[in-house]
Structures are given as structure tokens and as C-alpha cells.
A = this chain, B = another copy of it.
Amino acid sequence: MAKQPDLDDFLVPYFDDGKKNGHFSLDDFDPKAKPFSSGSKDADRARLSEIGLLLDNLQERLHAQRKRRMLLVLQGMDTSGKDGTIRAVFHEVDPLGLRIVPFKAPTPVELAHDFLWRVHSQTPAAGELAIFNRSHYEDLLVPTVQGEIDAEAFLQRCRHIRQFEEMLACSGTAILKCMLHISKDEQRTRLQARIDDPLKHWKFDVSDIEARKQWNVYQSAYRDALAATSTEYAPWYVIPADSKTHRNVMIAELLLRTLDALKLEYPPAKESLKGIKVE
């Protein structure tokens, strides 16, 4: 009998302060794999709807309780499906309870501050579920690939990220980080589709081609970044993402498990409301 897939098989080993973390290579994860797929697209979509309804209820409890905060970080190469994930996974969730924060290239005002400044201001408040569509990890990966920061500065930023995320966790924020892992082949297909369809041109920028030329450098930077910032309070998961359905189901399952673990309950009934008749 084949081993049942376990979400934690895709967990990046935790970084142990000062110690070398366990072996971790992105090459060990096949972007084409579909371990959390049932084998049928229809069944996968049904499961996704089912989880969606559960997430909607959990989000309402989170909001009603106003104690905990939830932060989902989505990272991945161009076309890896960050936007598509948000559309698919949160389809059933009340948009009122969501805060979706896209991070683009930093503005001059953002660059005039430390790299966590723009990110900290967007972290979820009590009762909020925030989704970072790209994140502070861009400010680690992009300057590294472009040679703007050296290895020492890279490790320093990783340390500042760990401390920042630990502080958020201490103040009640559950953090889940997903790296949408696609193959270089799949990216070619998706980029070409954006070029060939005029209605998709708005999704395409020539800089995407430049970034693609740096594929291996980016993969290596991702590896180092994930290894140095996966922690018990803010774990990284590698999501095989060549299959969109699989990617969606797996991220939905991870989020469901994370929210379930918070044991979110509605606040206790108010005795003072007992027997009150509205006239």
C-alpha cells in the first residue's frame, strides 16, 4: 500500500538558531507531483468547495472572537499561481473578513525605510485574515539575485525576519507560508500563453523574461531563504504547483489545518441578552 501523503512531508525543516538546519533542497520536490489530488479534477473541486465553506465558518469565528490573527504568505516565481490561489481558495470566504495585500516593487517612500516597514503596517489586526501576495521575502530574494545585498546582509535580513515573525506570533498571529513551486517548463507554457492572448497582456511584463533568465539563481535564493526562515511559529511549505487544482487543494488543506489548530470559538453567550424582546 502506498504511503498516504502527509502535509508535513512538504514542510521546510525548521531553522535552529545557530545550528545548520536539516537537509533541504527544492530539487527533492517534484513540481508536477499531485500528492493531495484525488486523481479526479471534479472530486478535487468538490473538496475545495467543502474546505471553502469550512474556511468561511472559521473566518467568521476568528472575526467574532477578535483575539487571534491569521497571516498567509504566498510566494513563487512569476506565473506560479499566487493570484489564482487566492481566487480559488477564498471563493467561499466572506470578502469582508479578508485583507489581501499585494506587494509590488518598493516605492521611493518604502525604500526610505527599513525593509520590514511596509510589511509591518499591513499585518493583520485581531480578527483579521490577511493574505500577502508576495511579501517581505521579495525584499530578501530580489536584492540577492540582483547582487544588491551580499551573503552577510542576506543572513542578517533572515534573522530580522525570524525575529519579526516571532514577535507577530507572540502577539497572537498564526503564520503560514507557502512557496508555489512550478517547473521551468510550466513557466514557459504560462508565459507564452500570456504573450499569445491579448487579453492576458496586462499580466505580462518584459521584466518577467529577465527574471526567467535568472531562474537558477532565484531557485537557489529561494532555497536559502526558506531554509533560514522556516520556524515552528512561521513554517514554510513547498507546494507542488504545476497542477493548479492540486496547488489549490493543498494550500486550502494547510490553511484549514492551521485555523483548526487555533480552536476558534464564538465568544460566550451574553447573559445580559437573555430574555430581551426587541419591541
Contact = CB atoms under 8 A, between A and B. Distances in A.
A167 B170 contact: no
Nearest to A169: B114
A164 interface: yes
A21 interface: no
Interface string A140-159: 00000000000000001000
A276 interface: no
Contacts of A123: 113-114, 117
A276 B54 CA distance: 69
Given A120-B120, A121-B120, A115 B171 contact: yes
Interface of A: 66, 109, 111-117, 120-121, 123, 125-128, 156, 160, 163-164, 167-168, 170-171, 173
Nearest to A110: B125
A167 B160 contact: yes
26 contacts: A66-B112, A109-B125, A112-B125, A112-B126, A112-B127, A112-B128, A113-B123, A113-B125, A113-B126, A114-B123, A114-B167, A114-B168, A114-B170, A114-B173, A115-B171, A116-B120, A116-B167, A117-B121, A117-B123, A120-B120, A120-B121, A121-B121, A160-B167, A163-B164, A163-B167, A164-B167
Given A109-B125, A113-B125, 11 more contacts: A66-B112, A112-B127, A113-B126, A114-B167, A114-B168, A114-B170, A114-B171, A114-B173, A115-B171, A160-B170, A163-B163
Contact of A171 (B113, B163, B170, B173): B113
A205 to B, nearest CB: 28
Interface centre among A111, A168, A171 (most CB of B within 10 A): A171
A64 B25 CA distance: 46
Nearest to A153: B170
A114 B128 CA distance: 13
A163 B163 CA distance: 7
Interface centre among A111, A123, A164 (most CB of B within 10 A): A164
Interface centre among A111, A112, A121 (most CB of B within 10 A): A112
Contacts of A121: 117, 120-121
A123 B117 CA distance: 9
